[in-house]
């Protein structure tokens, strides 16, 4: 079992030391305190002793076996290739240095939903082994907190991805278009990543609520500038997102956007081998074929597909290629189709425009086509794409 819980320090001004074990308590004294709830100091001593013993057991467990896992992504899918490339060993020790906090009963029926001075509020999202809540501290500051279940991460053998996300968020630092890490805590059963609170709705809902109508060009330009700026920042810091899609983009009231969910993030030049991270249809052709060696062009390609959805509606590329949402073709076949369609990206984009009723070429089509080039070496850097307009002509 993976239990990276070393340090006995809670977050912020509510730090509390759990390192000293209380004097051993008799069974009779404990039973009396629990039955009558008459000796709060005795119960506090019991709590401290239990925490100390849990810490000893965790340290003993780590001596016997360190947690290790394959670098297979949480959002990865195996391709049809026969051989698997070696993946760099991922350092997981950074998780052990995250401060500890007491959260016993946090999610119980009588819970106050309080942890280390933070009050957890409404759910903002739910993932495979994590739930994101709004959180407010004693000064009224609002943030988002991602609560990760250690038990579920153990079951999925996905500690590598948790470490990747933590490393990526720490290295990126503040950026106006990235939901950045502000702090982290852990308990015996959970990890807590505190992040900026992005006030808005994800791009998927933003598009969906417009009943298939294309977004205005100035809205697309504002969203595109935000995300390309975020990608340029990530790639400059040797980090790739690897799961760029509308669900991972938060649109705010002024139409600026923030990039969220770095659960699939990895170093820029980390080979994927036969494991490709992401979500169809946003996975670049070279990733589907297991030939990706630089994640930056893959991110640019994914955002090109996002732009198609902003212009022509959700699942635009899947609808054009007649891929079933619930039963798409084998990944190798998907890669072949995309490579064929975008070998000449201008012609491929022209076919898509024609399919959805936009026959005239619009400003920014040349840059968008280059972002969708089947050859990753022909795609622009995010910083270069940021300098060009990305408005595309759409039907009235």
- The predicted pLDDT at position 220 comes to 92
Q: What is the CATH number of the domain that holds 110?
A: 3.30.200.20
Does residue 41 belong to any structural domain of this protein? no
For residue 165, tell me if it sits in a domain.
yes
Confidence check: pLDDT of 142 > 60: yes
CB atoms within 10 A of CB 219: 16
Domain identity same for 145 and 228: no
Residue 26: Cβ within 10 Å count: 8
Record the tokens describing residue 153, joined without a space. 């991460």
Average pLDDT over all residues of the chain: 78
What span, in angstroms and rounded, lies between the C-alpha atoms of 196 and 144? 6
- Helices 217-236 and 159-172, axial angle in degrees (round to 10): 100
Tell me: do 266 and 175 sit in the same domain.
no
Among 195, 166, 193, which residue's Cα sits nearest to residue 265?
166
Could you tell me the end-to-end alpha-carbon distance of the chain, in angstroms, rounded to an integer? 57
The DSSP code sequence of 123-150 is EEEE-SSEEEEEEEETT--EEEEEEEEH
Least confident of 144-153, 271-280, 290-299: 271-280
Residue 83 has pLDDT above 90, yes or no: no
Q: Are residues 145 and 246 in the same domain?
A: no
Domain termination site, one of 178, 195, 212: 195
| pLDDT tens string 189-203 | 999 999 988 889 999
Same domain, 222 and 187: no
Same domain assignment for residues 191 and 205: no
- Check whether residue 368 and residue 301 sit in a common domain: yes
pLDDT band at 283 (very low <50, low <70, confident <90, very high): very high
Residue-level pLDDT at 256: 95
| End residue of a domain, out of 131, 163, 195 | 195
Question: Does residue 168 sit in the same domain as residue 188?
Answer: yes
Residue 229 counted as domain residue:
yes
Residues 258 and 174 in one domain: no
Domain encompassing residue 371 = 201-386
pLDDT of 147 higher than 60: yes
- Give the pLDDT confidence score for residue 360 in this predicted structure: 56
10 within a domain of the structure (yes/no): no
Tokens of 56: 């000893």
Domain contains 68:
no
Closest-CA residue to 241 (of 145, 165, 131):
165
Number of structural domains, the chain?
2
User: Does 251 score more than 90 pLDDT?
Assistant: yes
Domain contains 146: yes
Residue 69 maps to a domain: no
Same domain, 208 and 187: no
Helix (H) or strand (E) holding 116: none
Strand-pair category, 114-115 with 118-126: antiparallel
**Interacting residues of 22 by C-beta distance below 8 A, sequence separation 6+:** 45, 46, 48, 49, 52
pTM as predicted: 0.74
Q: What is the pLDDT of residue 232?
A: 96
Whether 232 and 345 share a structural domain: yes
pLDDT tens digits, 5-61: 433 333 333 333 333 344 455 666 666 655 555 556 666 677 677 766 666 665 554
Q: Is the peptide bond before 384 cis (omega within 30 degrees of 0)?
A: no
Question: Which domain-ending residue is among 174, 195, 216?
Answer: 195
Euclidean distance between CA atoms 95 and 77, whole angstroms: 25
> So what's the pLDDT on residue 78?
39
What percent of the chain lies above the pLDDT cut of 70? 71
pLDDT at 334: 93
On whether both 234 and 377 belong to a single domain, the answer is yes
Q: Are residues 188 and 140 in the same domain?
A: yes
Please report whether residue 248 resides in a domain: yes
């Amino acid at each position: 079992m993976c239990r990276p819980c070393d340090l006995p320090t809670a977050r912020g001004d509510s730090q509390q030391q759990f390192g000293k074990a209380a004097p051993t308590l008799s069974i009779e004294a404990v039973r009396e305190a629990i039955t009558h709830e008459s000796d709060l100091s005795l119960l506090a001593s019991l709590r401290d002793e239990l925490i100390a013993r849990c810490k000893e057991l965790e340290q003993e467990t780590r001596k016997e076996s360190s947690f290790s896992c394959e670098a297979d992504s949480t959002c990865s899918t195996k391709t049809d290739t026969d051989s698997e490339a070696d993946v760099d060993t991922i350092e997981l020790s950074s998780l052990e240095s995250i401060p500890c906090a007491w959260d016993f009963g946090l999610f119980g029926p009588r819970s106050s939903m309080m942890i280390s001075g933070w009050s957890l509020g409404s759910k903002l999202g739910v993932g495979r082994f994590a739930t994101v809540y709004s959180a407010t501290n004693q000064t009224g500051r609002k943030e988002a907190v991602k609560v990760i279940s250690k038990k579920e991460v153990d079951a999925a053998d996905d500690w590598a991805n948790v470490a990747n996300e933590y490393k990526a968020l720490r290295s990126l630092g503040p950026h106006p278009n990235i939901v950045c890490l502000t702090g982290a805590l852990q308990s015996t059963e959970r990890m807590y990543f505190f992040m900026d609170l992005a006030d808005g709705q994800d791009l998927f809902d933003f598009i969906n609520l417009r009943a298939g109508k294309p977004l205005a060009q100035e809205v697309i330009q504002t969203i595109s500038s935000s995300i390309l700026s975020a990608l340029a920042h990530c790639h400059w810091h040797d980090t790739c997102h690897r799961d760029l899609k509308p669900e991972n983009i938060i649109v705010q009231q002024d139409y600026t956007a923030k990039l969220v969910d770095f659960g699939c993030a990895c170093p820029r030049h980390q080979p994927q081998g036969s494991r490709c991270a992401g979500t169809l249809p946003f996975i670049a052709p070279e990733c589907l074929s297991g030939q990706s060696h630089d994640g930056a062009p893959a991110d640019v390609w994914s955002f090109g597909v996002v732009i198609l959805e902003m212009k022509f509606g959700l699942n635009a590329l899947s609808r054009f290629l007649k891929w079933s949402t619930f039963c798409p073709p084998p990944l190798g076949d998907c890669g072949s189709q995309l490579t064929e369609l975008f070998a000449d990206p201008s012609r491929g984009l022209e076919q898509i425009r024609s399919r959805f009723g936009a026959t005239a070429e619009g400003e920014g089509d040349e840059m968008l086509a280059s972002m969708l080039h089947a050859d990753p070496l022909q795609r622009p850097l995010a910083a270069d794409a940021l300098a060009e307009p990305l408005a595309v002509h759409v039907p009235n």
